[in-house]
Amino acid sequence: MALTDTEVSMLEKKAEEIRETIVTMLVAAGSGHTAGPLGLADIFSAFYFHILNHDPRNPDWEERDRLILSNGHTVPVRYAAMAHAGYFPVAECLTLRKFGSRLQGHPERLRLPGLETTSGPLGEGLSQAAGIAHALRMDDKKNRVYCMMSDGEQEEGNTWEAAMFAGKYKLSNLTAVMDRNNIQIDGMTEEVMPLEPLADKYRAFNWHVLEVNGNDITAFIEAVEEAKAIYEKPTLIVAHTIPGKGVPEIEFDYRWHGKPPTQEEGKRFLKEIRTLGGRVPGDYA
């Protein structure tokens, strides 16, 4: 069923709130990744407020969908989305990367209910997701598995072993989402290690592949719905996103891959996010 204008507006508003929280928590932490999380805010708004079958009050609910975050360095966007969805107080986001915090710089499954895996080393998430999807099928479960991964980690051999596995076992309950933002820590992906033609590579491994604008919430949700209708094939959604989305001065700048904003930059970034979101800027201290 198509989204109503009201539903789309709500999801866009949530994405804006997630972006604001990302900036605020990174400023408080003084370290962390900025560009990727900001670019993924629309996708995580769609996941936590529309797509996922989940219960923030019961994170271990047996019937929940599984969301695996392979690119663990983007976890500020997941923490922000989870907080706004009710898994924990939004104020706790200010403890990001602090000693003893549940919100570590890379997600740790045993620290925070609602995280499915611990991630850090890139390239592992698709293997974990494929294994979970296969196990759910063996148990005749209807849960769906989603794997969020980066484009840079397509340079990891482990990713392609998982792609072969998922294709062989026809894991149609698995949908992988690739954040195709074209940047990695040392530069642009196509300069560091060219990845294209990505879609053709996955199709050769017997995947159904869709390409969408990952910052268009409606388009992304429609792609997820199509994935549910695909018979006996895993689906890859290549989500083209703008790194640093919402803050024009850092968009597409790979130097913001692993760099947090300063206090002054944070105030400016929040003002830009709120202005682009149609809100009247207020006090950003």
Give me the domains of the chain, ranges plus CATH numbers.
5-276 (3.40.50.970)
Average pLDDT, the chain: 95
Question: 63 near 53, Cβ under 8 Å?
Answer: yes
52-90 burial: b if 16+ Cβ within 10 Å, else e: bebebeebeeeebbbbbbbbbbbbbbbbbbbbbbebbeb
The residue behind tokens 């989204």 is 3
pLDDT in tens, 79-122: 999 999 999 999 999 999 999 999 999 999 999 999 999 998 88
Residue 21 has pLDDT above 60, yes or no: yes
Closest alpha carbon to 144 in 224, 83, 89:
224
Q: What three-state secondary structure class fits 139? A: coil
CB 228 within 8 A of CB 257: no
pLDDT digits 0-9 by tens, 24-82 = 999 999 999 999 999 999 999 999 999 999 999 999 999 999 999 999 999 999 999 99
Checking if the pLDDT of 284 tops 60, the result is: no
The first and second tokens of residue 97, run together, are 């990367």
DSSP state of 250: G
The residue-averaged pLDDT of 222-230 equals 97
pLDDT level of residue 155 (50, 70, 90 thresholds): very high
Strands (E) located in the chain: 66-69, 145-150, 174-180, 183-184, 187-188, 208-213, 235-240
- CA 4, CA 128: separation in Å to the nearest integer? 35
In this predicted structure, what is the pLDDT of residue 40? 98
Residues in the chain: 285
Query: Residue 180 corresponds to which tokens in the numbers above?
Result: 């195709």
Structure-token match 């570590």, residue found:
104
